[in-house]
Structure 1
Amino acid sequence: MLDQLTREITTGGDGNPPAPKTNIAAAVAWGLGLLGAFFLAVPLALFALTRIPATDRNSRDLAYGALISGLGIPLAAILFLVLG
């Protein structure tokens, strides 16, 4: 009985391990990068990447997306203006 209860608590009841929680800093950085607040998105994404374990792929992918949008969109805009 106790063994079954312990298994339900640690696995979420369905036998699978609980899903990792998304890092809030990575999610906010991603949103800021898409909204155009690049000067906030890049430092926040770097901060999140230093705090996220390598096993949390979802949060790391959000932080990488924030870096790409935070650096890529302004770079593309500058290239468009210069070469355009």
Structure 2
Amino acid sequence: GERAIGFTVTDGNSDDLGDGALSATATRTVEVSGVNDAPEVSVTESVLTYIEGTGALAIDPGLALSDIDDEYMTGATVEITGGFESAEDELAFT
């Protein structure tokens, strides 16, 4: 939206003529346009080790999603992107 910025300049009566300090004012209107920033995802940088048959394991308990434009995200996609075995692999999240 629009923002108004006001400027006032005062001479401080530097001429000693006794007519007091003089000033001038001006206003400048600036149009501020929002930018749709992409959401951000941060993950833990450590390597996850899983031993077959030991049960469920949290992939990244430190995973965080954020969006500076909107605190309420409407969706996210979580998927196994490589080496998926449909008879063995299960992915769940909350």
Greater strand percent: which structure? 2
Greater helix percent: which structure? 1
- The higher relative CO (CA closer than 8 Å, separation ≥ 6) is in 1
Q: Compare CA radii of gyration and give the structure with the larger one.
A: 2
Fold shared per TM-score above 0.5 = no
* TM-score normalised per structure 2: 0.28
* TM-score normalised per structure 1: 0.30
